[in-house]
């Protein structure tokens, strides 16, 4: 985790890429699952839940990292005192 915090661009880039691909994933993957696997509503619901959870985790990670580095930059600039 500490290596990831040293390189926040990976988490931020991941969340941006996921946000661009969300609509394509929501349309394509359930249709493929239904066509190929004969997936029912339960499997499609599980898919939607886990995709949302992954997106939410990346968004939280990007927010936490940008907040941490933003606060560090403000502290070093003297904008915030502790």
Give residue limits of the domains in the chain: 2-77
Supply the pTM of this predicted model: 0.43
User: Which of these, 27, 16, 29, lies nearest to 62 by C-alpha position?
Assistant: 16
Alpha carbons 77 and 74: distance in angstroms, whole number: 5
Give the model's pLDDT for residue 82: 47
Residue 4 CA from chain centroid, whole number: 14
Give the model's pLDDT for residue 33: 67
Per-residue pLDDT of the chain (82 residues; tens, 9 = 90+): 556 555 666 666 666 666 666 666 666 666 666 666 676 777 777 777 787 777 777 777 777 766 666 655 555 555 544 4
């Amino acid at each position: 985790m500490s290596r990831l915090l040293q390189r926040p661009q990976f988490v931020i880039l991941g969340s941006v890429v996921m946000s661009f691909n969300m609509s394509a994933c929501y349309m394509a993957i359930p249709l493929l699952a239904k066509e190929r696997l004969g997936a029912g509503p339960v499997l499609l619901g599980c898919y939607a839940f886990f995709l949302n959870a992954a997106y939410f985790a990346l968004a939280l990670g990007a927010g936490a990292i940008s907040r941490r580095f933003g606060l560090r930059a403000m502290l070093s600039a003297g904008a915030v005192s502790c």
